[in-house]
């Protein structure tokens, strides 16, 4: 008996192509909208997470001045001195690694290629603080740091612009007119909200101070907090220590600031969570709207087909057979719509994700939920009006206009 109803269902679908298409359309749009939105939303979330993690976890950044953009006017607050660094290393508890930084910029040249970039002067601790790995080569030796040797570790953007596919390790390049040897190449960190993080040349701080900045000032100190310690406690001790060392009177404002990456990471994670929830809510609404679309077209279609149901009953179809036919039709259309919807969502999110600069994140769970939900709506709303029609007296169904 199932065979008969399957034949009849496929005949009905084939004969009423427009009606079948409209029924399917609700499901296609519902599924495609939801899956595309959630896929892109997940991609955006992942992109934000990646940017956060590139800041490094539990890192305090100590800078002179009053935070970003504040405290304009007045004399420029002094940079830090090497003695400040020693004090932090020796007097502060809960510190895992400390990296001083001196910054400069200039052009790097290798065999006729030149590239304008940022120069960081720091120590090997910088890479630990930043959790930044090398793809090849090595870090600075203690002797190289102390003597300020002309060695450098280059970011991926610098590497591709100067060396293309050649191995840079051991090569000598010129930076700001000074020759230096490339000893390491960094793993890529990508484009973040903080500019191209791979466009950098890292050198021993003493070299940068001697040859480029011309003094022993440290423009920034990065401190990695030991996981066993509370970041805010360490931050408070750090602030006390610096107020004391910079001789700031009680009641006066700090002329330095401590920037907690954990804090901003928490804020951004919170934002991302809200973003995900909003995307989820919008997705749920569009799925609901898609469901109502399916429901409407199914109701209209069954009402329209009441006379057909009457004919089938009159010529000897049992109500169950008529119902089964409608059920098979609804299942076929719903599943077909679901599959087309998933396919469209795949194409849409795959092509939109690069435009939004977010990774393409295929989520099986979302695909499955959207598909099952619309299929169930299609089947339920195809089934119940049909059941009502099949329960009619054949004569009443036949008279139906």
Question: 315, 326, 312: which is closest to 5 by C-alpha?
Answer: 326
User: Any contact of residue 321 with another protein (CB under 8 A)?
Assistant: yes
Cβ proximity to another protein: between 64 and 310 the closer is 310
Residue 4 CB, nearest approach to another protein (Å)? 5
Q: Which of residues 374-393 bind another protein (CB under 8 A)?
A: 393
**Residue of 264, 281, 318, 376 interacting with another protein (CB under 8 A):** 318
CB proximity list for 171: less than 8 A, separation 6 or greater: 110, 163, 181, 182
At 370, give phi and psi (nearest 5°).
Answer: -60, -45
Listing DSSP states for 364-376 in one string gives HHHHHHHHHHHHH
d(CA 300, CA 306): 10
DSSP element (H, E) containing 395? helix 394-399
Q: Judged by CB under 8 A, does residue 347 bind another protein?
A: no
Is residue 354 involved in binding another protein (CB under 8 A)? no
Task: By CB under 8 A, name the one of 112, 316, 355, 364 that touches another protein.
Answer: 316
Question: Per-residue x/- mask for another protein, residues 5 to 44, rule CB under 8 A?
Answer: --xx--x---xx----------------------------
In angstroms, the CA 65 to CA 79 distance is 9
Binder to another protein among 359, 384, 394, 400 (CB under 8 A)? Answer: 394
Q: How far is the CB of 399 from another protein (least distance, A)?
A: 9
Minimum distance of another protein from residue 396's CB (angstroms)? 10
Give the pairing type, strands 178-186 and 191-192: unpaired
| Touching another protein, residues 275-314 (CB under 8 A) | 307-308, 310-314
172 CB burial (10 A radius; 0-12, 13-18, 19+): exposed
Does residue 317 touch another protein according to CB under 8 A? yes
Q: Which of 245, 180, 186, 173 is nearest to 210 (CA)?
A: 180
Count of residues engaged in binding another protein, rule: CB under 8 A: 25
**Between residues 15 and 70, which has the closer beta carbon with respect to another protein?**
15
Note the residues at the interface with another protein (CB under 8 A): 1, 4, 7-8, 11, 15-16, 307-308, 310-321, 393-395, 398
């Amino acid at each position: 008996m199932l065979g008969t109803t399957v034949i009849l269902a496929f005949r009905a679908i084939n004969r009423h192509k427009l009606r079948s298409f409209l029924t399917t359309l609700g499901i296609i749009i519902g599924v495609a909208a939801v899956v595309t939105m959630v896929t892109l939303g997940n991609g955006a979330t992942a992109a934000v997470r990646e940017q956060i993690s590139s800041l490094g976890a539990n890192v305090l950044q100590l800078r002179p001045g009053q935070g970003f953009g504040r405290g304009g006017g007045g004399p420029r607050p002094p940079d830090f001195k090497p003695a400040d660094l020693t004090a932090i290393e020796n007097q502060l508890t809960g510190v895992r690694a400390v990296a001083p930084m001196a910054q400069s910029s200039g052009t790097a040249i290798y065999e006729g290629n030149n590239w304008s970039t940022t120069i960081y002067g720091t120590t090997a601790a910088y890479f630990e603080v930043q959790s930044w790995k090398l793809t090849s080569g090595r870090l600075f030796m203690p002797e190289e740091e102390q003597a300020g040797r002309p060695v450098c570790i280059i970011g991926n953007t610098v590497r591709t612009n100067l060396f293309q596919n050649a191995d840079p390790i051991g090569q000598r390049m010129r930076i700001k007119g000074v020759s230096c040897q490339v000893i390491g190449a960094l793993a890529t960190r990508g484009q973040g909200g903080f500019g191209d993080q791979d466009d950098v040349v890292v050198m021993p701080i003493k070299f940068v101070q001697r040859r480029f900045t011309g003094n022993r000032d440290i423009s920034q100190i990065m401190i990695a907090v030991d996981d066993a310690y509370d970041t805010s406690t360490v931050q408070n001790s750090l602030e006390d220590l610096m107020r004391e060392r910079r001789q700031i009177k009680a009641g006066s404002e700090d002329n330095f600031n401590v920037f907690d990456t954990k804090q901003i990471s928490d804020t951004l994670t919170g934002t991302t969570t809200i973003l995900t929830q909003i995307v989820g809510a919008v997705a749920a609404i569009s799925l609901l709207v898609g469901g109502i679309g399916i429901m409407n077209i199914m109701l209209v279609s069954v009402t329209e087909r009441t006379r057909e149901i009457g004919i089938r009953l009159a010529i000897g179809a049992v109500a169950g057979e008529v119902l089964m036919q409608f059920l098979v039709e609804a299942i076929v259309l719903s599943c077909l719509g679901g599959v087309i919807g998933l396919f469209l969502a795949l194409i849409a999110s795959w092509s939109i994700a690069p435009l939004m600069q977010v990774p393409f994140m295929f989520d099986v769970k979302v695909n499955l939920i959207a598909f099952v939900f619309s299929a169930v709506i299609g089947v339920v709303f195809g089934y119940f009006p049909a059941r009502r029609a099949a329960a009619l007296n054949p004569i009443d169904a036949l008279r139906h206009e």
